[in-house]
A and B are shown apart, each in its own frame.
Chain A
């Protein structure tokens, strides 16, 4: 059981470049989410999905796209990277949404720098 995996672990982009952060889980969890973590701030929810084919925006969705074609995978796309998107990105999954009485499992994070 690998849990929640994320690739890559580190990435450096130039302003305007695009890339996809990968997230996968093998726990058959319906709920998956993406957070960003910036110094001095809590984790902020970017997008989430309550199941395959269903996604919704979180607190800070601008500049990011997501899709959920399978239960296992939830990629996060940056279409045109900006320096403000320099952050550490965490993917998480849970069997039920966070508004339920259950815990989330987090991936190891992707550290992204946009120059």
Chain B
């Protein structure tokens, strides 16, 4: 069974705070780790795809790291803004075309 776990389940921060959340995944036959941003009433949108141990990706104030040996990824948001409020999904893909999603971290940024 491939379980992808995300923590925390939800998070409330003040505008300007920096925050981070965790995705843990089974590392056997791992191929890539995907982060998505999912706003209410919209479709998930891809943020990052990482595959190598030690990979780091950055897009504006959002960055992510990957540790394939221990099976975890962190997503960081620097200086959170109300428009960052969304559910952040991670998914791990495996060599057999399998892709497993976590339940997401729901972020609310208060003005």
Contact indicator A101/B49 (Cβ below 8 Å): yes
**Binding site secondary structure of chain A:** loop
- A103 with B46, Cβ < 8 A, contacts A42-B103, A98-B34 known: yes
Instruction: Specify which chain A residues have a CB less than 8 angstroms from the CB of B96 in the assembled complex.
Output: 99
Q: Which of B13-21, B66-74, B86-94 contacts A (4 or more CB under 8 A)?
A: B86-94
For the complex, count residues of B whose C-beta is within 8 A of A.
25
- A58 with B46, Cβ < 8 A, contacts A42-B89, A98-B32, A100-B32 known: no
Contact indicator A103/B103 (Cβ below 8 Å): no
Contact residues on A (Cβ < 8 Å of other chain), bracket: 20 to 34
Contact indicator B103/A99 (Cβ below 8 Å): no
Among A58, A101, A109, the most chain B Cβ lie within 10 Å of the Cβ of: A101
Contact indicator B46/A104 (Cβ below 8 Å): yes
Contact indicator A99/B104 (Cβ below 8 Å): no
Contact indicator A98/B97 (Cβ below 8 Å): yes
Contact indicator B91/A98 (Cβ below 8 Å): yes
Instruction: Specify which chain A residues have a CB less than 8 angstroms from the CB of B42 in the assembled complex.
Output: 108
Contact indicator A43/B91 (Cβ below 8 Å): yes
Q: Which of A41, A99, A108 contacts B99 (CB 8 A)?
A: A99
CB distance from B98 to the nearest CB of A (A): 7
Q: Which of B32, B45, B100, B104 contacts A101 (CB 8 A)?
A: B32
As a 0/1 sequence over residues 101 to 114 of chain A, the CB contacts with chain B under 8 angstroms (1 = contact) are 11111111100000
Instruction: Specify which chain A residues have a CB less than 8 angstroms from the CB of B91 in the assembled complex.
Output: 42-43, 98
Residues of A bordering B, CB below 8 Å = 4, 33, 35, 40-45, 48, 50, 56, 58-59, 90, 97-109
